[in-house]
Amino acid sequence: QLQLQESGPGLVKPSETLSLTCTVSGDSISSTSYYWGWIRQPPGKGLEWIGNIYYSGSTYYNPSLKSRVTISVDTSKNQFSLKLNSVTAADTAVYYCARFLQLGPKYFDYWGQGTLVTVSS
Amino acid sequence: QSALTQPPSASGSPGQSVTISCTGTSSDIGGYSHVSWYQHHPDKAPKLMIYEVSKRPSGVPDRFSGSKSGNTASLTVSGLQAEDEADYYCSSYAGSIYVVFGGGTKLTVL
């Protein structure tokens, strides 16, 4: 059974960098059929796609966040990571990692439980 | 890339049917058949309910169905049950591996 688990600091100061890691178990992150993505949900708001990464390192970002986001992959650890710099209170959200089927049908089929990141001094 | 438009709330009594709409543009919903719907209970991982407009993953009850017309997709829940009460989000592929979500609809079972 595929599982994804987000980890990282729950509190980040304004102007600093938010860093999260998603550990994948039950499947290889090097699978050629899938991308791996980050999605967030600010309190009281809807889901917002942040970006996707392929095991080769190819990345695709939400244009509204592109200037501040970096997603990377570590195939040796079966992990992928999110970095969001220059954070403000507006970046406070529950952050989810998920698997994205890319070949043919396109959708997120497995999600992590999510981790709350609060931006505050 | 703007969010897809969903009604903030929907409701129905047990046994009734409810339809949730999701409106986009010709660049996302109208341009592709890659519309998916997710059920989200508080403090749980979102769950895929519908993909490719109308297909159900294994294990999702056939009470859940999806459709699309032009730039608008819809999720219908028939025979409402108490456990269907949750937030529902639509999503669409928007080309070049870009993904857009709706703002979410809170479904209440009266």
For every one of its 110 residues, what pLDDT tens digit does chain B have, with 9 covering 90 and above?
578 999 999 999 999 999 999 999 999 999 999 999 999 998 899 999 999 999 999 999 999 999 999 999 999 999 999 999 999 999 999 887 789 999 999 999 99
Q: Are strands B72-77 and B18-23 parallel, antiparallel or unpaired?
A: antiparallel
Identify the pLDDT of residue B1: 57
* Nearest chain B Cα distance for residue A31, angstroms: 17
Burial status of residue B72 (CB atoms within 10 A of its CB: 0-12, 13-18, 19 or more): middle
b/e A21-47 (16+ beta carbons within 10 angstroms → b): bbbbeebebeeeebbbbbbbbeeeebb
- Residues of B (18-77) whose Cβ lies below 8 Å from A: 32, 34, 36, 38, 43-48, 51-52, 55, 57
Please give, rounded to a whole number of angstroms, the shortest distance from the CA of A50 to a CA of chain B: 9
Between chains, do B101 and A48 touch, taking CB under 8 Å as contact?
Answer: yes
* Chain-chain contact of B52 with A107 (C-beta, under 8 angstroms): yes
| Token representation of residue B25 | 């543009």
Pick from B46, B89, B93: which is nearest to A106 by CB? B93
Residue B60, min C-alpha distance to chain A (Å): 13
* C-alpha distances in Å from residue B26, one per residue of A41, B1, B35, B69: 25, 12, 13, 11
Which of A69, A95, A103, A106 best tests the B interface by mutation, with the highest count of B CBs <10 A? A106
- Per-residue pLDDT averaged across A77-91, rounded? 98
pLDDT tens profile A2-59 = 999 999 999 999 999 999 999 999 999 999 999 999 999 999 899 999 999 999 999 9
Count CB neighbours of B59 within 10 A.
7
pLDDT at A84 over 70: yes
Q: Supply the pLDDT for residue B74.
A: 98
